[in-house]
Amino acid sequence: MPEAGAPPGDPIAFAVIKNAMDAIVDEVAWTVIRTARSEIVKDVMDYSAAICDARGEMVAQAKTIAQHLGAIPEAMQAVQARWNGRLAPGDAVIMNDPYSGGMHLPDIFMFFPVFAGAEILAWTVVICHHTDMGGRVPGSNAADSTEIFQEGLRIPPLKLFHAGRMDETLEAMIGLNVRVPDRVLGDLRAQYAACQVGAREIGRLVERHGADGLRGHLAALLDYAERMARAEIATWPRGTYRFVDHVDSDGLSDAPVPLCVAITVREGGSLLVDWAGTSPQVRAAINSTLSFTKSNAFLSVRCALRGDIPNNAGVFRCIEVTAPEGSVLNPVSPAPVAARALTGYRVMDAMFGALAQVVPGLMPAAGEGGNTVVCLGGRHPDNRPFIVVDMISGCWGGRPDQDGIEAITNPSQNLSNTPVEVLERQHPVRIEEYALVPDSGGPGRFRGGMGLSRSYRLLASEAVLQLRADRVRFAPWGLDGGGEGGRSGNWLGEGEARRALPGKVTMTMRRGELLLHHQAGGGGHGDPLARDPHAVARDVWNGKVGVQAARDAYGVVVAGPGARLDEEATAQLRAEMAVNRP
């Protein structure tokens, strides 16, 4: 008898199609990087690519921002409802409306139909975070907006390209409403070029396998992923598993924002992810649309499944996600949503905390809490606008068998830190510190990753600063006895003259002022006294853990050149600590 996940029909042809779709969608993604204009796309890599079948179900996704891709089904529904039967070869539809399946205004979806004869066979989809969408502040990403109308240009599903030509009316409308039209329109053209590459390669598959054959294999690929996911979830222990995590505040109030999840493992290999008890929607722009909430929930579960399950919408069929209407995870229009990514990171943290109870020994401790966004917008001396959108990727929490990783993207994304040379070459800023923060990794048998520090000195006359950070109040949590990671911090000025800033702020910076950000460190995993003392000594020697922290958290005594381990003193101290534990 074939195993539960076995593909039907011709397994060789099925494997060829499956691997071809993965290769095609990665080629779409590489095309974006090669043709994009802005550093947020080509250097930070804040974009995604996918291929959907004719119905709009995602059959393949690129190795890009997985956090985006679970939102495609709802966005596709809006596109098909408006344009069904009214598209032709070479057309492309864009949208960014958060209340039509989008996420926030800077993320513009582009949907490109791939035809076989007169019928749509598939869709190539590219999502890019654009440098600016207009609105009250440069970058269109402020956490302190109070309604979506302040956040920028809101685009329903509209046809940007007609048979390969950009619509002049929509092009003019977008260009007039954004601060850097060359970058925004250039990145939209990059999205279109990438979609064309995907369509071309899908056409080559049709030449080899026929349109009907390809349709059948795409449907089989979705069913295959669903069967594999259900078979694995069916092995998980039945029950309901709960976890609560918090966003520090919305920035307009000091009240913490709780996110409460209950994951129920049900019969038949399915899950219910219920967010009842989560905070009502807030005044500031950290609300997460339901499509984005679902996307992060899908991704979190996918992280707990075996690695060879295809990354497609078949997995989504096993997961039901509910969030109360009017909550921070399912807001009602016109609630602002620009900084919704921060809440999405905390959705994943809460999901990981609950999943650690379902599949113990598999999930990591909490990481840095998601990237920090530093946005600086102003003008050069010749009046040309500049917009810095820097997304700082930090660290992972300790893992069940390894330390957390430093200076790496959050697990929900595949971002890269902007190179210092790119920032300084293109914008009037100087990066004076880019380093790891000592003692920021949570103690554990496997230490949490260290947070990053980054500082920005403004060289222009003035600029509007938007800062979106978190984990100042609620530190990243540890697992299985591991300790919390270090908290984040923000300061303006230097030395004795520096003053602390809140995690979410919009303000004006003046020439010569210095902004310093310390990102949170990851939580630890496992008992710190179970950590190899030699590993602690190496951390001290490398400047990752201080001498006092080694003694207090790990019971390790180091002394002398090269942070030499004092084994006798360490054994005695650890014995005392074990006895005196509460």
What tens digit of pLDDT does each residue of 440-497 get? Answer: 999 999 999 999 999 999 999 999 999 999 999 999 999 999 999 999 999 999 888 8
* The pairing of beta strand 372-379 with beta strand 319-322: unpaired
Angle at 295 (CA atoms; ends 302, 221), nearest 5 degrees: 55
> Which residues share a beta bridge with 455?
433, 516
Whether the per-residue pLDDT at 8 is higher than 70: the answer is no
Find the mean pLDDT for residues 355-359: 97
Q: Mean pLDDT of all residues in the chain?
A: 94
**Helices 290-304 and 340-358 sit at what angle, rounded to 10 degrees?**
30
Q: Write the single-letter amino acid at 58.
A: M
> Which residues share a beta bridge with 126?
49, 110
Q: Are 15 and 385 in contact (CB under 8 A)?
A: no
Residue 155 has phi, psi (to 5 degrees) of -115, 115
Find the mean pLDDT for residues 44-53: 94
Query: In the numeric block, which tokens belong to residue 466?
Result: 């938007």
Q: What is the pLDDT of residues 383-419, one digit of tens each?
A: 999 999 999 998 999 999 999 999 998 888 888 899 9
Q: What is the pLDDT of residues 309-336, one digit of tens each?
A: 998 999 999 999 999 999 999 999 999 9
Q: What is the CA radius of gyration of the chain?
A: 24
Q: How far apart are the first and last CA of the chain?
A: 54
Whether the per-residue pLDDT at 9 is higher than 90: the answer is no
Q: Write the single-letter amino acid at 160.
A: L
3-class DSSP assignment, residue 77: helix
Whether the per-residue pLDDT at 111 is higher than 60: the answer is yes
Using alpha carbons, list the distances in angstroms from residue 269 to 2, 6, 153, 236, 237. Answer: 18, 16, 42, 8, 10
Find the mean pLDDT for residues 532-541: 95
pTM of the model: 0.94
Longest dimension (CA), the chain: 80
Residue 422's Cβ-side half-sphere holds a number of Cα atoms within 13 Å equal to 16
Whether the per-residue pLDDT at 7 is higher than 70: the answer is no
- Which pLDDT score is estimated for 434? 96
Q: What is the DSSP letter of 440?
A: -
Q: Write the single-letter amino acid at 67.
A: Q
3-class DSSP assignment, residue 379: strand
Percent of the chain whose pLDDT exceeds 90? 89
Whether the per-residue pLDDT at 128 is higher than 50: the answer is yes
Q: Are 138 and 377 in contact (CB under 8 A)?
A: yes
Q: Are 476 and 523 in contact (CB under 8 A)?
A: yes
Q: Write the single-letter amino acid at 444.
A: G
* The pairing of beta strand 270-274 with beta strand 319-322: parallel
Name which of 61-75, 419-433, 561-575 the model is least confident about: 61-75
- Which pLDDT score is estimated for 286? 97
- Which pLDDT score is estimated for 2? 42
pLDDT band at 167 (very low <50, low <70, confident <90, very high): very high
- Which pLDDT score is estimated for 333? 94
User: Nearest to residue 105, comparing CAs of 289, 277, 330?
Assistant: 289
Find the mean pLDDT for residues 251-268: 96
> Is the bond preceding 334 in cis, omega lying within 30 degrees of 0?
yes
- Which pLDDT score is estimated for 1? 35
Query: In the numeric block, which tokens belong to residue 382?
Result: 């010749």
Residue 393: CB partners within 8 Å, gap ≥ 6? 371, 407, 408, 409, 410, 413, 415, 416, 417, 452
Residue 275: CB partners within 8 Å, gap ≥ 6? 259, 260, 261, 293, 321, 322, 323, 324, 327, 329, 330
